[in-house]
Amino acid sequence: MPAQAKPPVKPAKPVKVEAGTARTDSPPLTERQEARRRRILHASAQLASRGGFDAVQMREVAESSQVALGTLYRYFPSKVHLLVATMQDQLEHMHGTLRKKPPQGDTAAERVAETLMRAFRALQREPHLADAMVRALTFADRSVSPEVDQVSRQTTVIILDAMGLADPTPAQLSAVRVIEHTWHS
């Protein structure tokens, strides 16, 4: 009996979702999977907070989050993927905080300055975590591009929200890019 040819599999395309996370066309995570992912990100942040980039070892993250090492690698193929996702998670948390308590100021510049000061203070409270996340962005190769792009988009949204802009001009977006690159350096 001849084998039937399988139809080609189309690669999943990233799509933008409301919560500021990049997802593929694959089914959304179940509650258990999302809880597992949250535990992994929490363990990553805790380890990075204690000792920076080098303290985040995949085996320790798996143990701390109570998942098998293979499961961890299915969610995050490398430490760089994991730490960039941790940065995205931290940005989402910060964005939620900023939405609850928006930056004060009469001008867009004042609100952006307050947003940046709040972000920098948060980074200063966790210098090892900040260093680990920035190093992960620096070490990221093409395989991490979608995640790095999502961090960039999340940062852009945070800055645009502070500016009060829903439909920025190209010149305004250029200014946001400069702020964003300064923020992540």
Q: What is the pLDDT of residues 42-70, one digit of tens each?
A: 999 999 999 999 999 999 999 999 999 99
Q: What is the pLDDT of residues 147-159, one digit of tens each?
A: 999 999 999 999 9
Q: Report yes or no on 157 lying in a domain.
A: yes
Residue-range definition of the domain harbouring residue 64:
26-183
Question: HEC string of the chain?
Answer: CCCCCCCCCCCCCCEECCCCCEECCCCCCCHHHHHHHHHHHHHHHHHHHHHCHHHCCHHHHHHHHCCCHHHHHHHCCCHHHHHHHHHHHHHHHHHHHHHHCCCCCCCHHHHHHHHHHHHHHHHHHCHHHHHHHHHHHHHCCHHHHHHHHHHHHHHHHHHHHHHCCCCCCHHHHHHHHHHHHHHCC
Q: Report yes or no on 122 lying in a domain.
A: yes
Q: What is the CATH number of the domain that holds 171?
A: 1.10.357.10
Q: Report yes or no on 76 lying in a domain.
A: yes
